[in-house]
């Protein structure tokens, strides 16, 4: 039985998504359990997949923009020797080959080529829009869809076990990837690299940023809690803001600072002092020097926000027409929500 409508429900909820459920199914169920329609998630999981789905309710839905871009970890099983239209086990097999002759060394060597900053062609059956229409809708309509490759980062691609059954080979792996990476596409590309084809047969998301599936709730357990009248404990706004702002690490300072500074950008690269003034390099990683009050970014506040990155006095950083840009996604997010919830 769903709880009465409560507009004060705000916070994060970690859910262990069951197999066969869509991400929208989980959101719809949690809306009923929490008694509010304002529930969203930070990243879709395919129905076949299980694992961590980060939900937010009430005011915490504004934090999802920060959580969505976090890096993610997955445990997966790749089947070599068969290709499917969807690059996973839910699609029709389009080609098969004898993969029994593949050695463990050959598989691991092909995996190495997929680690690092790569260009990945997303799977055709995806939610990416092509001329205003979802790619999966075009595929279902009989079109041959080939999406453009996009840059992604595979920080880790570990092979755990290799099992051989007839002409196919199943490979258990763990991957750490950047946001926007398709693990299905990694399975496809590994099969193509070995000239036998490949697809994904199992997928479990174990981590989103600093959030682990070990802390996630089972859907059946959540329903039982509500039935018993115990309610559901959400991560409060202040704690949720800290999680959202600290789960994602900044690895490079802004390209420009002081008078024409920009918000910092994520980079998988070390600090490059040649692209920043000495003051910015000396103060990189230091705690914020000012308190951010969003919604009312006056010229003085905007100047103070800029001075946090280069360490120069606020009056030395003149405001510009870029004052409407969004806040940097780090400690400022926590300060923002701390101000809103006081």
From CA 103, how far away is CA 162, in angstroms rounded? 9
Q: What is the pLDDT of residue 236?
A: 86
Show Cβ contacts of residue 206 under 8 Å, excluding neighbours closer than 6 positions. 51, 52, 73, 74, 75, 174, 212, 213
Show Cβ contacts of residue 185 under 8 Å, excluding neighbours closer than 6 positions. 87, 120, 121, 122, 123
Q: Which residue out of 10, 16, 46, 71 is catalytically annotated?
A: 46
Q: What is the pLDDT of residue 284?
A: 38
Give the pTM. 0.70
Mean per-residue pLDDT, 119-131: 76
pLDDT in tens, 215-230: 999 999 999 999 888 8
Mean per-residue pLDDT, 151-172: 95
Q: What is the pLDDT of residue 107?
A: 96
**72-208 belongs to which homologous superfamily?**
Pseudouridine synthase (3.30.2350.10)
From CA 39, how far away is CA 196, in angstroms rounded? 43
Q: Are strands 150-165 and 116-120 parallel, antiparallel or unpaired?
A: antiparallel
Q: What is the pLDDT of residue 213?
A: 94
In the chain the beta strands, taken as DSSP E runs, fall at 11-17, 39-41, 50-57, 72-80, 82-84, 93-96, 116-120, 129-130, 133-134, 150-165, 168-177, 198-208, 211-212, 217-218
% of the chain at pLDDT higher than 70? 64
CB 95 within 8 A of CB 85: no
Q: Which of 165, 184, 173 is nearest to 98 (CA)?
A: 165
Residue with tokens 């080609």: 95
**11-70+210-246 belongs to which homologous superfamily?**
Pseudouridine synthase (3.30.2350.10)
- Tell me the pLDDT band of 309, cut-offs 50, 70 and 90: very low
CB 71 within 8 A of CB 156: no
Alpha helix stretches (DSSP H) within the chain: 23-34, 64-68, 104-112, 135-140, 183-193, 219-227, 237-246, 278-282, 299-310, 331-340
Mean per-residue pLDDT, 83-96: 90
Mean per-residue pLDDT, 147-163: 92
For residue 123, pLDDT over 60 is answered with yes
Q: What is the pLDDT of residue 262?
A: 40
pLDDT in tens, 258-272: 434 343 333 333 333
Q: Is 218 a catalytic residue?
A: no
Q: Which of 213, 248, 265 is nearest to 68 (CA)?
A: 248
- Tell me the pLDDT band of 75, cut-offs 50, 70 and 90: very high
The answer to whether the 11-70+210-246 and 72-208 domains have the same CATH topology is yes
Average pLDDT, the chain: 75
pLDDT in tens, 184-214: 999 999 999 999 999 999 999 999 988 999 9
Q: What is the pLDDT of residue 331?
A: 54
Mean per-residue pLDDT, 310-328: 43
pLDDT in tens, 239-263: 888 777 654 433 333 333 343 434 3
% of the chain at pLDDT higher than 90? 44
Parse the chain into domains and list their residue ranges.
11-70+210-246, 72-208, 258-340
């Amino acid at each position: 039985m769903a709880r009465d409508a409560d507009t004060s429900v705000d916070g994060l909820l970690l859910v262990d998504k069951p197999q066969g459920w869509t991400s929208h199914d989980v959101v719809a169920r949690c809306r009923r359990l929490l008694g509010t329609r304002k529930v969203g998630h930070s990243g879709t999981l395919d129905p076949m997949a299980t694992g961590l789905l980060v939900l937010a309710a009430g005011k915490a839905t504004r934090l999802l923009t920060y959580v969505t871009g976090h890096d993610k970890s997955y445990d997966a099983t790749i089947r070599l020797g068969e290709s499917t239209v969807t690059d996973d086990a839910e699609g029709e097999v389009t080609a098969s080959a004898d993969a029994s002759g593949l050695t463990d060394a050959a598989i691991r060597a092909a995996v190495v080529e997929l680690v690092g900053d790569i260009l990945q062609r997303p799977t055709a059956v995806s939610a990416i829009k092509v001329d205003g229409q979802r790619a999966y809708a075009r595929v279902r309509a009989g079109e041959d869809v080939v999406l453009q490759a996009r840059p992604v980062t595979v920080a880790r691609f570990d092979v755990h076990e290799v099992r051989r059954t007839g002409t196919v080979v199943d490979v258990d792996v763990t991957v750490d990837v950047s946001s926007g990476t398709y693990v299905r596409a990694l399975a496809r590309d590994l099969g193509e690299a070995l000239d036998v084809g490949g697809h994904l047969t199992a997928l479990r998301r174990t981590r989103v940023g600093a959030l682990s599936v070990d802390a996630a709730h089972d859907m059946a357990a959540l329903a039982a809690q509500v039935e018993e009248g115990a309610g559901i404990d959400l991560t409060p706004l202040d704690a949720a803001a800290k999680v959202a702002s600290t789960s994602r690490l900044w690895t490079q300072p802004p390209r420009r600072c002081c008078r024409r500074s920009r918000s910092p950008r994520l980079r998988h690269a070390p600090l490059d002092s040649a692209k920043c003034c000495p003051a910015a390099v000396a103060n990189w990683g230091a705690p914020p020097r000012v308190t951010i009050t969003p919604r009312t970014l006056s010229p003085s506040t905007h100047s103070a926000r800029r001075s946090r990155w280069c360490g120069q006095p606020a009056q030395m950083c003149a405001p510009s027409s870029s004052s409407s840009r969004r806040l940097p996604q780090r400690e400022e997010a926590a300060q923002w929500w701390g101000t809103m919830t006081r």
